[in-house]
Amino acid sequence: MPLHPEAEKIIGQMPAGDSGPAMPLDAQAMREEFRRAWRMPERLQTVGGVVDTVFPGPAGDVPIRVYTPEGEGPFPVLLWFHGGGWTIGCLDENEVACRAVCAEAEAVVVSVDYRLAPENPYPAAADDCFAAVKWVHEHAAELSADPARIAVGGESAGGNLAAVCALKSRDLGGPEIALQVLVSPVLGHPDDGRASYADYAEGYFLSKASMDWFFTTYPRDERDFDDPYLLPLRAADLSGLPRALVLEAECDVLRDEGVEYARRLADAGVEVELVQFDGLIHAFFGLLCAELTDAKEAHARVVSALRSLRSS
């Protein structure tokens, strides 16, 4: 299908109509460019409370933002990991999406500001995110959260980290995760040969060139490419993983690896729902959600999945 008119407008407003920052890239310049370009929407959905705090991570305190719904818990809890190629991004860019999910699902949302590469290469981000899962499980009562209804989710690199947390939870003896929400997740390598990397390499917001660069910042070296805790599609066995909701944009280099992961999960006996949003581009769920009408449907899918979780 052709680009959605709203997505086409976003791309048309980018410098030179291109889909990524100019090369050569460096992390500090990209972060500064993002800070200059990003604007928090003026009207934000009301929730019961929002608190910025920290928890003790494996290399020091990790900032988190905790969104709590109105009413009395315990509520289901979603740990949310932002995107940005493990290299850029922050809690603010997901403010709209986190508030929407918190209010409409009546769920606690814990947004995690994990360490960024290249200053903190693999496995720093994955370690911080899994430590957050364990911390939330241990402190669920303080968060008005139900430790039997823990979900992990994220977009792009955050979707990667959510999938990794699900794998680690299975492999390392918990805590048990009830749901993984994978939005345009990074699950394979840009040079794996998937068609979406060729079809949407340039001109669709996220370029192959940008993904190539992100793969120079987070991994320590090429040996990490074989590690399923970096690239979950490298896992030999996907059985025993939590139920998955996979959301993909049609016009995204990452589309096909999400589709493949959903298929492999299903083949391994995992309950999975795959939803593709035709005509949309990368970052539709969080970063660009205020500009894309269909993002509300994506949020509704996550809300429905969280509401369906049952307390033990």
Q: How many residues does the chain have?
A: 312
- Identify whether 164 is part of a domain: yes
- Identify whether 312 is part of a domain: no
Q: State the average pLDDT over residues 244-252.
A: 98
How far apart, in whole angstroms, are the C-alpha atoms of residue 4 and residue 14? 16
CA distances from 172 to 88, 142, 152, 260 (A): 28, 24, 16, 25
223: tokens are 């040996």
- Identify whether 111 is part of a domain: yes
Q: What is the pLDDT of residue 312?
A: 56
How far apart, in whole angstroms, are the C-alpha atoms of residue 257 and residue 171? 22
269 or 30: which carries more pLDDT confidence? Answer: 269
- Identify whether 281 is part of a domain: yes
Please state the φ and ψ torsions of residue 182, each to the nearest 5 degrees: -115, 105
Q: What percentage of residues in the chain have a pLDDT greater than 90?
A: 88
Overall domain count for the chain: 1
Q: What is the pLDDT of residue 23?
A: 45
Task: Name the DSSP letter for residue 116.
Answer: -
Position 17 pLDDT exceeds 50: no
Going by C-alpha positions, the residue among 273, 293, 281, 274 that lies closest to residue 196 is: 281
Kindly report whether the peptide bond that precedes residue 24 is cis, defined as omega within 30 degrees of 0: yes
The answer for 54, left when phi > 0, alpha when psi is -120 to 50, beta otherwise, is beta
pTM, entire model: 0.95
Range of the domain at 206: 5-307
List the end-to-end C-alpha distance of the chain, in Å, as a whole number. Answer: 43
Cβ distance 102 to 76 under 8 Å?
A: no
The predicted-structure confidence for 82-136, as pLDDT tens digits, reads as follows 999 999 999 999 999 999 999 999 999 999 999 999 999 999 999 999 999 999 9
Q: What percentage of residues in the chain have a pLDDT greater than 70?
A: 96
Cβ distance 178 to 150 under 8 Å?
A: yes
- Identify whether 56 is part of a domain: yes
pLDDT band, very low/low/confident/very high, at 41 (cuts 50, 70, 90): confident
Q: State the average pLDDT over residues 173-197.
A: 98
Strand (E) or helix (H) holding 142: none
How far apart, in whole angstroms, are the C-alpha atoms of residue 34 and residue 95? 15
- Residue 57 DSSP SS3: strand
How far apart, in whole angstroms, are the C-alpha atoms of residue 61 and residue 212? 30
What CATH number does residue 283 fall under?
3.40.50.1820
- Identify whether 263 is part of a domain: yes
pLDDT band, very low/low/confident/very high, at 32 (cuts 50, 70, 90): confident
Position 36 pLDDT exceeds 90: no
Residues known to be catalytic: 156, 252, 282
Q: What is the pLDDT of residue 12?
A: 92
- Identify whether 156 is part of a domain: yes
Q: State the average pLDDT over residues 277-296.
A: 96
Cβ distance 183 to 162 under 8 Å?
A: no
Q: What is the pLDDT of residue 39?
A: 75
How far apart, in whole angstroms, are the C-alpha atoms of residue 133 and residue 57? 11
- Identify whether 85 is part of a domain: yes
pLDDT band, very low/low/confident/very high, at 20 (cuts 50, 70, 90): very low
CA distances from 60 to 124, 145, 229, 234 (A): 11, 24, 21, 30
Mean pLDDT of the chain: 94
